[in-house]
Chain A
Amino acid sequence: MLARWIAACRSRLSALAGRKRFEADLDEELQFHLEEAAARHVRRGLSWEEARGAAARQLGDVGLTKEAVRDESGARAFQDLGGDFGQALRHLRRMPAFAVTAIATIAVCVATSTAVFSVVSAVVWAPLPYPEAGRLVRLYNSYPNVGFLRTGTSVPEWFDRRERATTLTDLALYRQESNTVTTAEGGRHAFALRVTPSFFTLLGATPALGRLFDEAAADTAGPPPLVINHDFWQSAFGGRPDAINSIVVMDGTRYALIGVLPPHFRWPTWDAQVFTALRFTARDRGVQARNTDEFEMLARLAPGATVNAAAREVNAINAAALESYPADKARLVRDTGYTTVVRPYLDDLVRDVRQPMALLWMAALLVLAIGATNVTALFLLRANARLREVHLRLALGASRFRIIRQWLAESGLVAAAGGAVGLAGTVAALRLLAAFEVYEIPRVRDVSIGGPVWLWTVAVVVIVSALAGGVPAWSAVRRRANLTREPSRTTTAGPTWSQRGLVTSQIAFALTLAITAGLLVASLRNLNAVQPGFTAEGVSLAALILPGERYPSGAARVDATARLLAAVETVPHVGRAAIASQLPFSGGDGRTGLIPEGVSQPAGRSIAVPFHTIVSAGYFETMAIRLRTGRLFTDLDRLGGPRVAIVDRALEQRYWPDGALNRRFWFGATQGPAAEAVTIVGVVDSVLQNSLRERESAGAIYSFNAQNPPGFFRLAVRFDGPADWSKVREQIATVDRALVPFWRESLSDSVKMSLLFQRGPMQLVGAFSVVGLFLGALGVYGVLAHEFGARRREIAVRLAIGGSHRGILALLSRRWSVLVVPGIAGGVAGALATSRLVESLLFETGLTDPMVIVAAVGVLVVAAAVAAVVPARRALAVDPALTLRQE
């Protein structure tokens, strides 16, 4: 069937392509016929003139004959279609306002829906680029009783599961790191992953050059192996094949470069450029390493295994392992509600964006629906004006099919033009998205205009043109019976039910969008009112690494950090500078378990896991975090001296409601020796750590960098004037040229970015709802204008026989209500039906927030009322005498 259809099409197309040749052949053939026929007549005694005439009469009308031959050639359908399009083009050119409005509407719909489609499909729907990606799972530990829902995995668990789990294969551990690679040109920052050899097996990676990590090979002798990705090979090694087996120095350690990954291999969240091998010894399996959760775990489900079966098995293995814990640690860990969560990897990867994406997708579909109905309504309006023409052509023998086909050609042309403009808009939108580098959205780099996006656009164009051409044509053919009875009324027929229905559904869609946008706006307003506990304005951030080979000891790092901060503070307009191992709103989760001394807590709360960061003395001043009691860190707190810490109010209230000053605690899950106890010297205000949505603070604990100096940290600089980062960079270079700040951003930006999944959907849905309201109002205007245009005569008669303007207005408002009220009901119902999609994005705003609904309905009513003003004024301006005379 398909083959035959393709063959038919091909013959038609080739007939079309060879049309010139076809015509020439046909001309010559008929010419030959005429000449031979004439020659015979001459042989029978006619003169040449007479013979030619006789031959021509015999052949008949050459034009008709040619036409008949062409009909048989099969190229007909396409030629006719060409004619239809030509005619459609001429029609549209006569009505530029109509064409431009329709094309612009479709372009907006295509641009929004295609842009959203391309993002959603690349981020949420597309499978991960690994073999059997659907069976990849992420495993992480969760301690729900202490409010710590997501950590990583510990090395002993990896050993346990590798040996015992039957539902999982290729278990891999990895950890993200950030390193400085030293090449011939100097230091170069690289994003690194430390991975077990099974990582590459799991993701199906094969080397483009050299080899990857080998489980069996005893690489213990010689420098540890290093694998790099294709981009890094190009940028740092100039793509030279002889880079393989060379020695690469990274953070002071010498590595042997053993392999390069192929160009298509990508880590889904960010560009991991350098891979080093994780190797564990028996010591790493010890019970002390359990529940330290320093690594991430990925695995593949064994054939036939399900996620639930894997979770059951892994948790059974955990429970068995708990038996080997020392009694007090076992009790603690059990108290926390320790479980391991198994989730499909893709599902886990897009967990934060799934809901916003679903919401955007819904909003884009609504805009598309509104636009499609609007264009259909536009075509209907025009179809009504053309009913007389249709009627005439049907009477002259045109087939219904032919008329429908012509209208479809028109709507198809408009939809295709709108689709093309819309696609251009999509390209621009995606460029903009790429320019913003929104790395918070996983896989956002994979967003592109590929096959599925083309298919989507084509589908939209086809559906819109079928609706916009088909509905009016269908309604015109249906109304034919009425026309024949009342031919003189054809041009004054009022709006049809399909027109009213379209406008009402537009209003419903627009209101659904407006309510959704309103809820998001209300949530964002609530979120913006939240005080994070620090002042973000004016603070610039960067990350820094103290290379291990230059600063091997704690003392060296303390000294380097102090000199660095002193140098930065000499830069003009720098008020204060500080370092912190973790900053709020910077993505790090940085939580640490601790045991308060002498505090008896109910089961499940015996271990605290507050936010932990190591800071320099100026940190609280830089961030504008207020000290409540006690003191800040001073020079007296030294490396090797009594360990001190500062806690926040939230932690104080939780564990030391009578005051935390001078109380002690131990880091870790068990009480250590007295020498390792940490004394609390100050209490500061609580700050929000990760999101303005945090309702219950986990508390925070601050260690002093002079006692616990980190080699990788964030630099925070408070400017009291214009920020000049290049000067800061210069000053840092005066301390050591190897210190290169990276990841520069402002603290306000990172606070703002934490609202990305609130603000982004809000802005887009808001924009969509404005478009929707505008189109809906346009629809109301169109129908009312049409209605009262058609009823001019009736209005004139009413006025002439003493009807009042008030009566006319009442008529108008009845008509208006019939359109708008069901639309409002539908819109509110739609908003309730889709509320599940918005729920997780809301903050202190109810799903049925009456204020929002009332406001959205109000805006809609105003827009619809404005749309009614012009038709109403026209109706009231009717001069009975004049109008009736015209009729």
Chain B
Amino acid sequence: MTENRSLVLLGTLELLVLKVLELGPAHGWGLAEALESMTDGVFCVNQGSLYPALQRLKRQGLVTASWQRTEHGRRARYYELTAKGGRRLADQEAQWSRTSGAVNRVLAARRTEA
């Protein structure tokens, strides 16, 4: 069912997670769902790689984790962006737009030449 959808670009998962968390705290499942819906189902997060990524972000101090109740009263681990995480997000966003802009220009140039 996921074969026709691309996997998250290598290295961008971190950026996407931080971006989602900028909107507010979320648990792992919520993040996976949000990522999928925000990209209109284009990106299917390999859910197995989400948790190691969260652990890495936590170790770097970009997010914090705490056990809280969901709206249905279940216990879930919520991740929250730290100030440091916010700065990292801003950096990565800027970098991403530079890179993607460059890539787009390259692609556009190819099309005109062809």
Contact = CB atoms under 8 A, between A and B. Distances in A.
A25 B46 contact: no
Given A28-B75, A32-B27, A33-B28, A71 B48 contact: no
By size class, the interface of chain B is 20 to 34
B29 A73 contact: no
Contacts of B49: 65, 68
B56 to A, nearest CB: 5
Contact of A60 (B47, B56, B77): B47
A33 B32 contact: yes
Given A72-B59, A73-B59, A29 B28 contact: yes
Contacts of A887: none
A65 B29 CA distance: 14
B52 interface: yes
Given A32-B75, A40-B33, 12 more contacts: A25-B67, A29-B28, A32-B74, A33-B32, A33-B47, A37-B29, A37-B47, A60-B48, A61-B48, A68-B49, A72-B55, A74-B59
A65 B76 contact: no
A28 B67 CA distance: 10
Given A37-B29, A65-B51, A25 B77 contact: yes
Contacts of B33: 40
A69 B29 contact: no
Most buried by A among B27, B47, B67: B47
Given A32-B27, A33-B29, A60-B46, A69 B52 contact: yes
A58 B33 CA distance: 12
A505 to B, nearest CB: 48
A276 to B, nearest CB: 69
Interface string B30-72: 0011000000000000111101110110010000000100000
Contacts of A28: 75, 77
Name B's interface SS.
helix
5 contacts: A33-B32, A58-B47, A59-B47, A60-B48, A65-B51
Interface in A202-223: none
A64 interface: yes
A863 B28 CA distance: 72
A319 interface: no
A72 B56 contact: yes
Contact of A30 (B2, B51, B55, B75): B51
Nearest to A34: B29
A74 B74 CA distance: 29
A51 B75 CA distance: 21
A67 to B, nearest CB: 9
A36 interface: yes
Interface in B76-102: 76-77
B47 A69 contact: no
B51 A68 contact: yes
The 8 closest A-B pairs by CB, nearest first: A60-B48, A68-B52, A72-B55, A36-B29, A65-B48, A33-B29, A72-B56, A59-B47
B47 A29 contact: no
Nearest to A66: B51
A61 B52 CA distance: 13
Contacts of B59: 11, 72-74
B13 to A, nearest CB: 13
Nearest to B31: A33
Contact of A32 (B29, B46, B52): B29
Nearest to B1: A54
